Chains A and B, each alone.
Chain A
Amino acid sequence: KAGVTQTPRYLIKTRGQQVTLSCSPISGHRSVSWYQQTPGQGLQFLFEYFSETQRNKGNFPGRFSGRQFSNSRSEMNVSTLELGDSALYLCASSSRLAGALETQYFGPGTRLLVL
């Protein structure tokens, strides 16, 4: 089974621009979560999508948004980029249907640098 894939792997943007990151989950997984990882704040949960619906959301401003398509692929969008948005963005998929979130499989991440 192919793992979680994320594109692009690296990205450089300037302040004020917007960016869209893509994540393809493991085949059959319907839950996709996004995380932001920075040296200062560590790993922080952004949101989780399940069957095209946002299931849970972290404490990030509205500039961070996401969506999920019918094939479970997910995109994350950040508008009006700020320098502090520079981070490693990780996507994870899970086979969970109901019940608590359990094992997640992570992609390699997209490293975003905002200049």
Chain B
Amino acid sequence: SQQGEEDPQALSIQEGENATMNCSYKTSINNLQWYRQNSGRGLVHLILIRSNEREKHSGRLRVTLDTSKKSSSLLITASRAADTASYFCATVSNRDDKIIFGKGTRLHILP
């Protein structure tokens, strides 16, 4: 079964607003990664956060990780039309090293 589950499934916001997506998972992880996918193309790695980290930043992206709640959030600040895409979290298990992707959040930035 899918370990990472994103919430919400879909999100529409106005350009310039902030977008927040959440990811929950079930077992112990080594790291959690966020990827972006544009319309049926390959995925692009955005950011990785390790299990001993609580927050990471990369440009307009901010990721938090709460291992006690088994959850992570991805914040995109000052959204742009080019941010329109699907966003996936992926967890790497520290038990068997398998990576599991969630079903993604479809983000639509309105002009």
Contacts and interface: CB of A to CB of B under 8 A. Distances in A.
Interface string B87-105: 0101010101111111110
Interface in B1-54: 2, 30-31, 33, 35, 40-45, 48
A42 B87 CA distance: 12
B2 A45 contact: no
Interface string A84-111: 0000101010000000111111111101
Given A100-B94, A108-B41, A42 B101 contact: yes
Contact of A101 (B88, B92, B104): B92
Interface residues of A, number: 23
Interface residues of B, dominant DSSP: strand
B36 to A, nearest CB: 10
Interface residues of B, number: 25
Given A56-B96, A100-B31, A103-B33, A42 B104 contact: yes
Interface in A50-69: 56, 58
Interface of B: 2, 30-31, 33, 35, 40-45, 48, 88, 90, 92, 94, 96-104
Interface of A: 4, 33, 35, 42-45, 56, 58, 88, 90, 92, 100-109, 111
